Amino acid sequence: MNTSKAYNNRRHIILTIVVIISVIYLFRMAWLQLIDDSYKASAANNSRRDVTIFPSRGLIFDRHGDFLVTNEAVYDLMVIPRQTNLADTLAFCSLIGVDPERFRKKIQDARSYSTFRQSIFEKQIPKDEASIIQEQLYKYPGFYLRPRSIRNYPHPVAAHVLGHLGEVNRSEMGQDSYYALGDYIGKSGLERRYEQVLRGEKGVRKLLVDVHNQEKGSYMDGRFDTSAVSGKSLTTTLDLQLQVYGERLMQNKTGGIVAIEPSTGEVLALISAPGYDPGLLVGRVRTPNYMRLLQDTMRPMFNRALMASYPPGSIFKVIQALVAMDFGVLNPGDHIPCNQSWVRCHGHPRADNVAKSIQFSCNPYYYEVFRRIILQGKTPSVFTDSRIGLKQWHNAMARFGLGRKLGADLQNVKAGYLPTVSFYDHWYGKNRWAFSTIYSLSIGQGEVEITPLQMANLAAIIANKGYFIEPHVVKAIDGQPVEHPSLEPQHTNIPVEYYSVSAEGMRMAVEEEGGTARRARIPDITVCGKTGTVQNPHGENHSVFMAFAPKENPQIAIAVYVENAGYGGAWAAPIASLMIEKYLNDTIQRPFTEERILNANFQEHAPVF
């Protein structure tokens, strides 16, 4: 009885163990088949490969249909670590041009990502190199080439406008599920602003491969393939030839040029100097070139046309006159003596009216004009009166697009700065400042700062006699005109007749004897312009000029800012006039002026920060 009982107990124990083991095996099999797809994926990768088809990124054209950005075919070398079996690592390294240490690191990185999923081993291999690799790739299981395209620049210009691409980071992947590791995304300029328009949509091709990783055709006759959709093209407002010419003129100089079509707000040229060849940030050399540009003390990647805030200098006098006439504190025929006990000035003929004050750029004239704007006698206290006047002045200047960001589709635009009552209260203390504290604003010095884009927009406002359209650089997407919400005219609400006075003064500055911008004259084209010479505590003064032409029916408004170049009439003015002549006539009839500008170098003794 005891023996039988013991036997039954052992039998129950053995049966229990068998049942438990069976349940474990069944559970494990169910897990592998129904939940864990790693073995399934690994098996599928032994016979099938999903190849991403990258779309052609949208092309970019200038306003006349000339190419600014195209695409060039390259290949990524992909790896599936589980399938690799290299008998001769050195031969493989020699084939693809990497050293053994780099090879080991890349294999380890790929295994860390996934042993059975594809990842990039070597990216953006040129087409000619890829064809050589492809001939030998059958010897190396687990590796294959995947086609894609990179940007190509037929002309090495407009880098700051066009922008560049870079490898997507984890933050960007988290924000948009479209991107995967190794994808590229717009990092700056139009490439960033219009990323979703330019990028297109990826496709997938499912392939059958043999044990040697050689393609054997489409899986299920391509039933599950999806086609890539090419990105849309952009037609910009830029004039390629004007952009090229402007960048030539700004060689060995620091500053910016912005040219605008006044009637539309379309940016014709946008130049930041020093610049760089956009082709440097393409392909396998992108990373070292990017670091080199980033570390360059001349800061070639800094877009001075949009991001550098400068004192405007004497070009500000034109706007001061308009505001003062609108406030009723200045009449077009007012004579103000050139009293150098107020502020220093250069010797010039008597400024009998507003137009002549612009022609001769009289500093004391605008000292008095600004005093009338700020001190209007609305209260006995000079401090309170100054607060009231400055607030009114600030609001009037803001209508010219100052103190705020301009550019309907431009990236990284700075607002410049218009000082406010609260700024001076914080700086000096309430009731501790008055006109006598801030009079340097009268001639565009002091705390006011504007960008070259804003300067060009000021010229466009005067050309349009009182309004502007937000500057922009894209006019069509896939041939369809772009409708920006901000492309409605924005008015300054200053009477047209006052603009006529200012425009005449600008014409006289260029065309009449004694004018400060005589070097901006162009045969048979009436140019209206205003010079500026901005004080620079770190070296030579900055040379500034804004203009529009022709006087009747203006077709171009332009601003030029050249750091450390001295007088505005000596350098910025002739640069602007050459740009105007190039745009309107397509030829240059002043070779001496052109040669003088091309040979000028203001970077040799410029301070480095």
Residue pLDDT, tens place only, 278-297: 999 998 888 899 999 999 99
Half-sphere exposure of 188 (CA within 13 A, CB side): 17
Band (315; pLDDT cuts 50, 70, 90) = very high
The confidence score (pLDDT) of residue 31 equals 58
User: Does residue 605 register a pLDDT over 90?
Assistant: no
Q: Residue 73, SS3?
A: strand
**In terms of CATH, what superfamily is 40-79+149-204+216-236?**
Penicillin-binding protein 2a (Domain 2) (3.90.1310.10)
pLDDT of residue 39: 43
> Per-residue pLDDT for 49 more than 50?
yes
DSSP classification of residue 490: E
What is the per-residue pLDDT for 284? 83
Non-local CB neighbours of 455 within 8 Å, separated by 6+ positions: 258, 312, 315, 544, 546, 559, 561
pLDDT in tens, 212-226: 555 666 677 667 778
pLDDT at 211 over 70: no
Q: Which pLDDT value is given to residue 87?
A: 76
| Per-residue confidence (pLDDT) for residue 486, from 0 to 100 | 75
Domain-wise residue ranges, the chain: 40-79+149-204+216-236, 240-599
Q: What average pLDDT does the segment 105-132 reach?
A: 88
pLDDT of residue 296: 93
- Tokens 């171009």 belong to which residue? 556
pLDDT in tens, 38-48: 444 444 445 67
Answer whether 462's CB lies under 8 Å from 317's CB. Answer: no
Residue 215 pLDDT = 60
| Alpha helix (H) residue ranges in 361-420 | 363-374, 382-398
**pLDDT at residue 42 in the model:** 46
Q: List for the chain the helix, strand, coil content (%; round to 5).
A: 40, 20, 40
Arithmetic mean of pLDDT over the chain: 89
Pairing status of strand 60-61 against strand 234-236: parallel
Q: What is the pLDDT of residue 606?
A: 58
Residue 503 has a pLDDT of 97
**What does the pLDDT read at residue 609?**
42
Interval 175-204 mean pLDDT: 92
pLDDT in tens, 526-553: 999 999 999 887 788 999 999 999 999 9
Report the predicted TM-score, pTM, of the whole model to 2 decimal places. 0.86
* 464 band by pLDDT with thresholds 50, 70 and 90: very high
Classify domain 240-599 by CATH architecture.
Answer: 3-Layer(aba) Sandwich (3.40)
Beta strand 542-549 with 556-562 is antiparallel
| pLDDT exceeds cutoff 90 at 350 | no
Q: The tokens of 355 are what?
A: 């137009």
* 326 close to 396: Cβ distance less than 8 angstroms: yes
Per-residue model confidence (pLDDT) at position 41: 43
> Phi, psi (5° rounding) for residue 199?
-75, -30
Q: Do domains 40-79+149-204+216-236 and 240-599 have the same CATH topology?
A: no
Contact, 213 vs 144, CB < 8 A?
A: yes
